[in-house]
């Protein structure tokens, strides 16, 4: 770096960041295991001095937090912008640093281009998650078009040669794809106006040997609920750079004189303990820094949602019977889904007219809300405030309130258009409607849906407004939360179409997928869990036959798959057989007993030799309790199940291992076999369970098993031999 280099370090629980710079943007020289406190940073920076290769420029600087061509970097830049035909590139120089909470702010400027850039870097000392955020200010008199500014630039260790990305579609969200990072530039862009089902704004870099419980990995997630870009570039030098930021539509980054654009936060964590170790850091950060429950000590209540029981057909008899049935199985929150508002006989009309339908609810929603509360449950309501049907009074009165780009066609999605949230009148109308509903009906919970992508999202002036749509949504949610501090909100977007830390700062729960098919849900929940803890994962027991897949599944199987998240039921409880009603009641009782373990403990994805055998585990913080759900989604490859290691238990403690629940098919899968896990169970040390693993019963396709691990205190191994 040269003798004039400046440097600094940030330390977390077991992580160190080292930055170094001369006269320009700093480089993140090191992001890894915590370094000795007595380390000489000047000597360390000198040790990272880069040689100049043949046939290259005379300077070979490390990739900075804002890579730029003016300093010899010829890859994808961290900032792109121009002022008409001028100021199309330049050189940022260091203008000072400032200490900020758990971090440092780097202040940069480009005098000729008349712009100032700051990059904030935090390292949380408790969770080990680093947070990066950049800002740009136009200091000139003419407008400056900043069409790209990365929230931060990461340069992972050379050993991280693979990328895990997240893809999917409706009803198949959070599919993981692991592949080698290819030479050259890979760019993933999402233009759907929401996080999307097919392009989650996050990725994980790993070494080829990294698995769930061992090996090095680095995760990055952009806390932004709209259009985004992910850049992965493997350079000829062997370096890899990663950038994440907002993807602007034409002109959205245009800054007037004195105007500032601030990027969303980029959350970064690293682990030497595999993907589970990485998830533990992200989960800790969500729990400590992002989630704001009205009552932090309140357990996540069991939900009954009306959608798959009633759809649009609402009447008092059916609803009251469903409330009665919900109480019988132990529900704690009753959510009235789509179909309650004016003109809503199907999905072709009514959106925007947020008033109870007089034919279905002649005296409003309050009688139903009161009846729900009389039966010991909270009352929740489904809304989709950002949308409007062409067949609505709202759009007839205000045809200019939608996002569009005349004279081009305005495309509908699910028979609906998108309201322009950058219009203050629209937001005032929505806030008034929602406030009245919440106040008049004592609503404790909103299921906030968003069921279509944005296409040609122009505002009333014709300017691109996809980015403003997201920030305006945040402002509306913040206003509602401030006005109704006891309200909880679920983020839903045709399932998992809007899942990220930006929306999570303003909500309390996600609906990861519209699929209630437990086979599909097992994969969705696994992908979701890399960045999000189980208490924010809506996991419902659906009907026997899934309307999105046509598959029929056993009630116990459906209940066990849903048991590791925030439990709900989305089925017609009135028509259940007595056996299935008992199964659901038992599942609810089990969830209430164990939810603190899943929602406060360490969460693990269980890695097995059979790709059709999925598993999730939770271990209490004191390591005295644990549970593991094993889910066989398809016919096993082998006649015997693989031996499964149990991670996270205390090595020197004794545990009694028992089967808490299982599908009926498991009891009949083996001939002439008395399962030692039944009845009193097995007693083994934590170290044995982790290193030698556990022999499992024979699995059939679509069968599942719940194991419990309970520490035996004040006893020795010998007393059980």
Give the total number of structural domains in the chain: 3
Low pLDDT (below 70) residues in the chain? 1-3, 671-673, 714-721
652 is catalytic: no
202 and 268 part of one domain: yes
Return the SS3 of 473. Answer: helix
- Is the whole model's pTM more than 0.95, yes or no? yes
d(Cα 88, Cα 80) in Å, to the nearest integer?
8
- One domain for residues 543 and 581: yes
Report pLDDT for 721. 43
The answer to the question of residue 591 being in a domain is yes
The reply to whether 583 falls in a domain is yes
Q: Which pLDDT belongs to residue 1?
A: 41
> In the block, which residue shows the tokens 């405030």?
385
The answer to whether 454 and 496 are in contact (CB under 8 A) is: no
Phi-psi region of 609 (alpha: psi -120 to 50; beta: other; left: phi over 0): alpha
| Pair (278, 348) in one structural domain | no
Structure tokens at 444: 């404790």
User: Could you tell me the two tokens for 188?
Assistant: 């993933």
Q: Report yes or no on 415 lying in a domain.
A: yes
Taking the alpha carbons at both ends of the chain, their separation in whole angstroms is 62
CATH of the domain at 262: 2.70.98.60
Q: What is the pLDDT of residue 672?
A: 56
Pick the last residue of a domain from 284, 311, 338: 284
- What letter would DSSP give residue 51? P
Domain boundary (581, 600, 619) is at 600
- The Cα–Cα gap between 627 and 594 comes to 9
* Residue 10 covered by a domain: no
Q: Do 593 and 609 belong to one domain?
A: no
Question: 122: helix, coil or strand?
Answer: strand
CATH of the domain at 700: 2.60.40.1180
> Is 514 a known active-site residue?
yes
Q: What is the rounded CA–CA span in Å between residue 621 and residue 600?
A: 8
- Give the model confidence (pLDDT) of 315-368 as tens digits: 999 999 999 999 999 999 999 999 999 999 999 999 999 999 999 999 999 999
Please list the residues that pair with 215 across neighbouring strands. 273
Within 8 A by CB and 6+ apart from 418, the residues are 193, 386, 387, 388, 402, 403, 452, 454, 457, 469
Q: Is residue 451 within 8 Å of residue 387, measured between CB atoms?
A: yes
As given in the structure block, the two tokens for residue 83 are 């002022």
Per-residue DSSP letters for 296-343? Answer: TTS----EEESHHHHTT---HHHHHHHHHHHHHHT-SEEEE-SS-BTT
| Residue 58 Cα distances to 50, 55, 61, 72, 155, angstroms | 11, 9, 10, 9, 21
Whether 13 maps to a domain, the answer reads no
Contact 662, 706 (CB under 8 A): yes
Residue for token digits 């900032």? 79
Query: What is the C-alpha separation between 374 and 370, in angstroms, rounded?
Result: 6
Asked if residue 313 and residue 273 are part of one domain, the reply reads: no
DSSP 713: T
CA 1 distance to own-chain centroid: 38
Which is catalytic among the residues 500, 514, 554, 594? 514
Active-site residue, from 128, 145, 337, 449:
449
Helix (H) or strand (E) holding 114: none
| Pair 623, 672: CB distance under 8 Å | no
CA angle 131/137/140 to nearest 5° reads: 165
Are 351 and 242 found together in one domain?
Answer: no
Which of 541, 565, 600 corresponds to the end of one domain? Answer: 600
528 and 631 co-located in one domain: no
Both 656 and 565 in a single domain? no
Same domain, 665 and 542: no
- Contact (Cβ atoms closer than 8 angstroms) between residue 512 and residue 525: yes
Whether 456 maps to a domain, the answer reads yes
CATH number of the domain within which 586 lies: 3.20.20.70
Q: Are 266 and 133 in contact (CB under 8 A)?
A: yes
Host domain of residue 263: 73-284
Instruction: Report the pLDDT value the prediction gives residue 2, as an integer from 0 to 100.
Output: 41
Structural domain contains residue 34 = no
Closest CA to 401 of 432, 422, 385: 422
CA distance 127 to 287: 10
In a domain, 585, yes or no: yes
The token pair that represents 348 in the structure block: 């072709």
Q: Are residues 222 and 334 in the same domain?
A: no
Q: Are residues 272 and 318 in the same domain?
A: no
* Residues 485 and 617 occupy one common structural domain: no
């Amino acid at each position: 770096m040269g003798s004039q280099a400046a440097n600094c370090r940030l330390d977390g629980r077991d992580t160190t960041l080292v930055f170094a710079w001369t006269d320009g943007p700093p480089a993140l020289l090191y992001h890894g295991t915590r370094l000795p406190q007595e380390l000489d940073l000047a000597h360390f920076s000198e040790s990272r001095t880069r040689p100049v290769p043949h046939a290259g420029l005379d300077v070979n600087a490390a990739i900075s937090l804002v890579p730029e061509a003016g300093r010899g970097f010829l890859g994808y830049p961290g900032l792109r912008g121009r002022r008409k035909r001028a100021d199309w590139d330049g050189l940022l120089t260091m203008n000072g640093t400032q200490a900020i909470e758990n971090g440092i702010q780097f202040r940069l400027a480009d005098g000729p281009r008349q712009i100032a850039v700051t990059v904030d870097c935090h390292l949380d000392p408790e969770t080990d998650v680093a947070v990066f955020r950049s800002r740009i200010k136009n200091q000139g008199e003419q407008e400056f078009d900043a069409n790209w500014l990365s929230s931060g630039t990461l340069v992972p260790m050379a050993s991280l040669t693979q990328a895990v990305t997240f893809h999917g579609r409706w009803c198949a969200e959070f599919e993981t794809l692991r592949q080698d990072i290819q030479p050259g530039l890979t760019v993933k862009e999402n233009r759907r106006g929401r996080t999307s089902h097919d392009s989650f704004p996050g990725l994980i870099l790993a070494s080829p040997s990294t698995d769930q419980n061992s090996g090095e990995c680095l995760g990055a997630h952009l806390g932004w609920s709209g259009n985004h870009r992910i850049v992965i570039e493997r350079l000829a030098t062997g370096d890899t750079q990663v950038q994440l930021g907002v993807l602007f539509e034409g002109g959205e980054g245009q800054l007037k004189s004195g105007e500032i654009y601030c990027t969303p936060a980029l959350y970064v964590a690293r682990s030497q303990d595999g993907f589970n170790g990485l998830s533990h850091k992200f989960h800790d950060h969500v729990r400590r820094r992002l989630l704001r429950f009205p009552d932090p000590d309140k357990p996540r209540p069991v939900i009954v949602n009306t959608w798959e029981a009633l759809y649009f057909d609402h009447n008092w008899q059916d609803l009251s019977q469903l409330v009665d049935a919900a109480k019988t199985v132990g529900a704690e929150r009753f959510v009235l889904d789509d179909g309650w508002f004016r003109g809503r006989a199907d999905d072709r009309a009514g959106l925007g007219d947020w008033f109870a339908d007089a034919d279905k609810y002649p005296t409003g929603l309050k009688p139903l809300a009161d009846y729900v509360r009389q039966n010991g449950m909270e009352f929740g309501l489904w809304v989709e405030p950002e949308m409007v049907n062409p067949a609505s009074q709202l759009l007839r009165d205000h045809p200019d309130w939608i996002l569009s780009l005349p004279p081009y066609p305005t495309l509908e999605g699910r028979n609906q258009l998108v309201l322009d949230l950058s219009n203050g009148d629209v937001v005032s109308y929505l806030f008034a409607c929602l406030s009245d509903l919440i106040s008049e009906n004592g609503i404790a919970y909103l299921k906030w849906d968003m069921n279509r992508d944005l296409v040609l999202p122009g505002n009333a002036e014709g300017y691109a407004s996809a980015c403003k749509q997201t920030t305006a949504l945040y402002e509306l949610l913040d206003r509602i939360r401030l006005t109704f501090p006891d309200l909880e909100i679920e983020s839903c977007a045709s399932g998992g179409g809007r899942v990220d830390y930006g929306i999570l700062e303003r909500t309390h729960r996600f609906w990861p997928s519209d699929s209630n098919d437990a086979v599909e849900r097992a994969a969705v929940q696994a992908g979701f869990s890399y960045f999000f803890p189980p208490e924010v994962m809506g996991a419902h027991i659906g009907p026997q036959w899934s309307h999105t897949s046509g598959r029929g599944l056993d009630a116990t199987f459906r209940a066990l798959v849903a048991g590791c998240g925030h439990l709900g039921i989305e089925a017609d409880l009135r028509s259940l057989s007595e056996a299935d009603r008992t199964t659901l009641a038992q599942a609810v009782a089990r969830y209430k007993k164990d939810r603190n373990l899943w929602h406060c403990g360490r969460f693990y994805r269980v890695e097995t030799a059979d790709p059709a055998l999925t598993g999730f585990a939770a271990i209490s913080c004191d390591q005295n309790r644990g549970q593991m759900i094993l889910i066989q989604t398809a016919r096993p490859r082998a006649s015997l199940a693989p031996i499964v290691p149990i991670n996270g238990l205390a090595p020197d403690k004794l545990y009694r291992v028992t089967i808490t629940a299982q599908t009926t098919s498991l009891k009949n899968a083996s001939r002439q076999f008395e399962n030692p896990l039944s009845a009193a169970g097995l007693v083994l040390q934590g170290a044995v369970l982790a290193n030698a693993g556990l022999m499992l019963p024979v699995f059939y396709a679509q069968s599942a098993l719940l194991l419990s691990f309970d520490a035996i205190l004040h006893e020795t191994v010998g007393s059980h031999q």
